[in-house]
Amino acid sequence: MKRNILSCVLLAVMILSSCKKYLDEKPNKKLSIPSTVEDCQALLDLHTYINSFVNNAVGEVSSDNYYLTSQTWAGLTQQSYRDMYTWGEEIFYDNGPSQNEWSSMYTIVYRANVVLEVMDKVQKTELNNAAWDNVYGSALFLRAEAFSVLARNFAKAYTDNSQDLGIPLRMTSDFNTPSVRATVQESYDQIIRDAKASVPYLPQSSAHVMRPSKAAAYGLLARVYLSMRVYDKAALYADSSLQIANTLIDYNGASTTATFPFDRFNPEVVYFAQGGPTPLTNTRARIDSVLFLSYAANDLRKSLFFKSNGDGSYNFKGNYTASVSQFVGIATDEMYLTKAEAVCRNGDFQEGLKILNQLMVKRWKQGTFIPFSASNQSQALAIILSERRKELLMRDLRWIDIKRLNLENANISLKRILDNGVYTLPPNDNRFALPLPAKIVAISHMPQNPR
């Protein structure tokens, strides 16, 4: 199967090169774009290659799970990274990385749009039925997933009927169509439409976790609804995902001395995606000391997630990528935590803790875990949220969690301390919507996020 995926990626590279020729208005345009189900599958598989080698997880760079020393911060080679860390007015410079999260996500959107347009012209037959469905559903999923990444990082958190600035919803591959920023409400409406529309076409479980599936689509819907604070639907879709994929790793079987304790495609991974911006590598990013101390002595995550620097600080090594790159896909542990929180918020805090304990017993030294308990909803929710942060750190989820929780009056503020000063980010500050690339604003005349 891995060989087949690699073949698709290589084919996709050739197709992408042809697409560039098409965009450069070369002759014989009919030979320059995908025209078959196989072509479209290859083009979609390329998203994994792009996601693996670009600067993304800008939300995680902006969040509070880690810190940089003044020396490390000053030594970052790109001004982009230094400004991401301090919530600057510009985070994508012309002399920065050749691809950034904005460009890479819209590359995925463009590719998905190309595929959807081609597939509308490809006849579905008995012979290609399954492959046709998989390609069509995958394109919808990938567009929804890319839009969701953009919305959670470059727009304010969702509120009911929010007219705040959202993201450009590119729904066509035609570059001549002007980009216009939708509202936050319109942005999330489109994400939900695409994700829901993908479900009937996708298989229960994909041939490989690098490709979408029903379990992944349900997981994406659960993640998005949680970010919207629509808790009944977050619980519903987390449960739907877990009905298909609910395996948890028993951390008692993982090596605490391994450089990277978890396999790249381990049993918890429902949909694999990764990113690895420079500030988050485990030679630079140091885990927040208060966060590290919150892990109990018998909590195996304390030894599996972190590596001591010998000076009282710790780096993160617990990526579900078996590398320094961050896992930013969808996994079953996230679904347990999403369902636990949503069920608790919906009123059944005892059931929420029961769901949480199903996860936690797999994270503590065998025979030492005492199930969490609480006497009221507020206590239960505090426990669940604490474990959510400890379980899902460095997965590009903390930024949107801070934004949504501050709308629930969590009053989370952020602070950076460097030799050149102290930087603060108060709750609900405009800077929680990261700045669009200045070049894009100049070309499109779209409004920039206020600072």
* Residues 362-381 pLDDT 10s: 999 999 999 999 999 999 99
274 in helix, strand or coil?
A: strand
Q: What is the mean pLDDT of residues 145-169?
A: 96
More confident residue, 22 or 116: 116
Q: Give 442 or 277, the one with higher predicted confidence.
A: 442
pLDDT digits 0-9 by tens, 94-148: 655 456 889 889 999 999 999 999 999 999 999 999 999 999 999 999 999 999 9
- Which among 321, 356, 136, 332 is positioned nearest to 215, based on CA atoms? 332
Q: Where are the alpha helices (DSSP H) in 283-411?
A: 289-293, 301-304, 332-345, 349-360, 377-391, 398-406
Mean pLDDT of 413-427: 97
Q: What pLDDT band is residue 68 in, cutting at 50, 70 and 90?
A: very high
CB 122 within 8 A of CB 37: yes
At 423, give phi and psi (nearest 5°). Answer: -115, 135
Angle separating helix axes 2-23 and 37-52, nearest 10 degrees: 100
DSSP β-ladder status, 286-287 and 66-67: antiparallel
* C-alpha span between 146 and 135 (Å, rounded): 16
- Looking at residue 282, its pLDDT comes to 81
Record the pTM. Answer: 0.92
Start-end of H helices in 53-122: 58-62, 70-75, 79-85, 101-119
Least confident of 13-27, 194-208, 262-276: 13-27
Q: According to DSSP H, which parts of 120-183 are helical?
A: 129-154
Confidence of residue 51 (pLDDT cuts 50, 70, 90): low
3-state secondary structure 226-263: HHHCCHHHHHHHHHHHHHHCCCCCCHHHCCCCCCCCCC
Complete domains list, the chain, with CATH: 1-56+103-202 (1.25.40.390)
pLDDT value of position 101 = 86
Average pLDDT value for residue range 199-213: 95
Q: Please tell me the predicted confidence (pLDDT) of residue 20.
A: 39
**Cα–chain center distance at 36:** 30
- Per-residue pLDDT tens for 70-84? 999 999 988 988 999
Q: Do the Cβ atoms of 164 and 184 come closer than 8 Å? A: yes
Question: What is the mean pLDDT of the segment spanning 195-220?
Answer: 96
Which pLDDT belongs to residue 98? Answer: 53
pLDDT given for residue 49 in this prediction: 61
5 closest CA partner among 44, 60, 61: 44
Which pLDDT value is given to residue 57? 87
The mean of the pLDDT values for the chain is: 90
Does 92 have pLDDT greater than 80?
yes
Tell me: the pLDDT tens digits for 291-338? 999 999 999 999 999 999 999 999 999 999 999 899 999 999 999 999
Rounded mean pLDDT, 288-293: 97
Determine the length of the chain: 451
Proportion of the chain above pLDDT 90, given as a percent: 82
Q: What value does the mean pLDDT take over residues 18-40?
A: 57
Selection from 134, 123, 120, 124 nearest residue 42 by Cα: 134
Lowest-confidence range among 12-21, 161-170, 321-330, 344-353? 12-21
The CA–CA distances, whole Å, from 50 to 16, 93, 101, 167, 275 equal 12, 20, 10, 21, 10
